[in-house]
Amino acid sequence: MSKDIKVKPSSVQEFKRKGGYRIIEPIYAADGTTVIRVKHCTLAAEQTGMKRDLIRRIVQQYPTERPIRGEKRAEVFAKLEFAERYRLEHGDDVKYTTNRNIIRKAWSLLNKKPPCSWTETDYKKLWNKDPDFESPFFKAELGAKGGIPENYGTPLRHVMDMCKHIDALRTFKCTKEEKGKYKGWFLNEIDLIGKPNEPKTSLLYHLQDNETLVLVYLGMAEGGRISSLRVQTPRHITWRTGEIYCEERKVRGKKGARPIRTVPECVINLVKRYVEDYKIDPDQKLFGKSTNFYNEQLSTAADEAGIVKPKPVTSHILKHTFVTQAAKRGIPEAEIEKQTGTEARTLMAHYQADDPQMTRHYLRGEESSVASFIDWMRSLEPVFLHHYERIQREGAKVDDYRGKLP
């Protein structure tokens, strides 16, 4: 059989160089064997240009080390002497948690080598200057030759500074992203409903499970980050008033903040139906999969719908959508700031897209037919319900997931 054909070492090296192991995300069975999902194998084939059968044999014959995930990985990193030093030096920084997680990711990529032991060779890998290593921190769109964005590079440079790597500080610089570059990154009604008589141009048409569909509707109404949405349970929701008690780790200056977000009744109705249909317990998460899972579902659906944005569609576009649509449809700036937990100046600089139509309305007196935010959300309700019921009838097209009702 093809799976028994020995893979050439050169093919393994090519697969590794093209980042294949990071794409394939193999599943590890209880007995330690490697299980590969067809969709991951197909994605790896598309991005590496190698055949699916060859990829399957590579991962089966040369399996990766079973990764440490979630809390266990965090616990291992927290025990490092460097982690405690970093906490003491940067624990009061409002971006401490994000910076620590970036360092932890780099530590994992470098085979869990202690940060103070990193050499120039290691930094070359992180800065994408090693031909055999593809850095996840590198963005080709930054400048002529690309670079490491400042938000990724800053914590890595913290390591250089703490460990007295002076030459590395001089050599490995960060690149500032253009301010407001992604302000046009949001969803509008055409993206959600589709073009007239072209249903396949709708993002919702290509979603494969109701969990992601409900996440989109609720995320657009809440204006929160995916990290906040993923920890919400039915017990967090006051159904009568539409208030949701949220956990928001990245609210500036408030660790473990719990803002109260208010969402329209039409959104609450769909969430309530979703909870009842799929028998979600009061303390069970509404959205139980990983952030990467939802990002994959959204980016794939957007690609199939032919939706073009400044950058790939991921779960964070829901916050951008709320900010832009709320501002466009008359919600006061103070309410948007309260709902999102993000300062107004940051919203203006990075989230709220320019709206020439409203500019002409206010400064030239031209009529505006823009509906209010609540009316806009209500107009989308029939579309979300249609696709919600379609997925119920057909069943979810992703493994081990809430889909067709029993």
Give the start-to-end residue ranges of the domains of the chain: 2-61, 70-171, 189-394
Residue 400 has a pLDDT of: 46
Query: What is the 3 state secondary structure string of 132-169?
Result: CCCCCCCECCCCCCCECEHHHHHHHHHHHHHCCCHHHH
Residue 274 has a pLDDT of: 95
pLDDT per residue of the chain (406 residues) written in tens, 0 to 9 = 455 678 888 888 888 777 777 676 555 544 455 566 666 677 778 878 888 888 888 877 877 654 455 557 778 888 888 988 998 888 766 678 888 989 999 998 898 899 999 999 999 999 999 888 888 888 877 766 678 888 899 999 999 999 999 999 999 998 877 766 778 899 999 999 999 999 999 999 999 899 999 999 999 999 989 989 999 999 999 999 999 998 876 655 455 567 899 999 999 999 999 999 999 999 999 998 888 889 989 999 999 999 999 888 999 999 999 999 999 998 999 999 889 888 888 888 878 877 777 777 777 878 777 889 999 999 999 999 999 999 988 877 665 455 444 4
Alpha-carbon dihedral sign for residues 333, 338, 340, 346: positive
Q: If we measure between CA atoms, which residue out of 195, 233, 226, 237 comes closest to residue 321? A: 226
Residue 30 has a pLDDT of: 46
Strands 27-28 and 243-245: unpaired
* Domain 189-394 sits in CATH 3.40.50.150: no
Query: Rounded distance, CA 257 to CA 261, Å?
Result: 12
Alpha-carbon dihedral sign for residues 185, 304, 27, 388: positive
Cβ–Cβ under 8 Å, residues 20 and 48: yes
What is residue 351's DSSP assignment?
A: I
What residue has token string 């044999």? 57
Q: Which two tokens stand for residue 53?
A: 């059968």
Query: Rounded distance, CA 317 to CA 223, Å?
Result: 10
3-state helix, strand, coil in the chain (%, to 5): 55, 5, 40
Those residues whose C-beta lies under 8 Å from the C-beta of residue 131, and which sit 6 or more positions away, are 17
Cβ–Cβ under 8 Å, residues 47 and 23: yes
Query: Rounded distance, CA 214 to CA 217, Å?
Result: 5
Alpha-carbon dihedral sign for residues 107, 300, 401, 40: negative
